[in-house]
Amino acid sequence: MRNAAEALLRYGKANGWLDGQPAMISRPLGKGRISYLGAVLDPELMRRVVEWATQDAGVKAEFEALPEDVEVCRRTGSRHSVFVLIRHGGHGAKTETVTLPAAMRDVLHDGRLIDKVTLEPEGVAVLEDDMPRTAAGEERAK
């Protein structure tokens, strides 16, 4: 059968009727692939699955090596991108400094250009990037 799905993960023992059955399948489709995960994974295995899927798709993180408690949300328009960094660390935690992939405007602090941002516990930063980038972080031609 052409483009048959392959089982990437299988259920282990102690899952009753699911023992040995596929937990994640994948098959080529067009220029990429389609994958289906039908299980709740522990955090480490989920991290590995997401890492595999993003590498397989050629997706590169816009921000490298973020602190564990910092979330990045990206919103993109035709002329710029806005990044919202949210620090989930609780009270009493130390500040965290995030190095930006390129100089960006600090929207919450007079729009000045910065290449690093320091986040207090439960802090937020809103950053504007005037040069839209591709998913691989490369500048797009204008």
Query: In the prediction, which pLDDT does 131 show?
Result: 65
Max CA distance (Å), the chain: 60
pLDDT in tens, 51-73: 999 999 998 888 888 888 899 99
The amino acid sitting at 61 is A
What tens digit of pLDDT does each residue of 15-27 get? 899 999 999 999 9
> Which two three-digit tokens encode residue 121?
């516990």
Give the confidence band of 127 by pLDDT, cuts at 50, 70, 90. very high
For residue 140, what pLDDT is reported?
A: 42
Domains, the chain, ordered by start: 6-57 (no CATH), 70-129 (2.60.40.1180)
Confidence (pTM)? 0.65
Query: What H or E segment, with its residue span, contains residue 47?
Result: helix 43-57
Q: Which range (23-37, 49-63, 119-133) has the least confidence?
A: 119-133
Q: With bands split at pLDDT 50, 70 and 90, how would you rate the model's confidence at 104?
A: very high
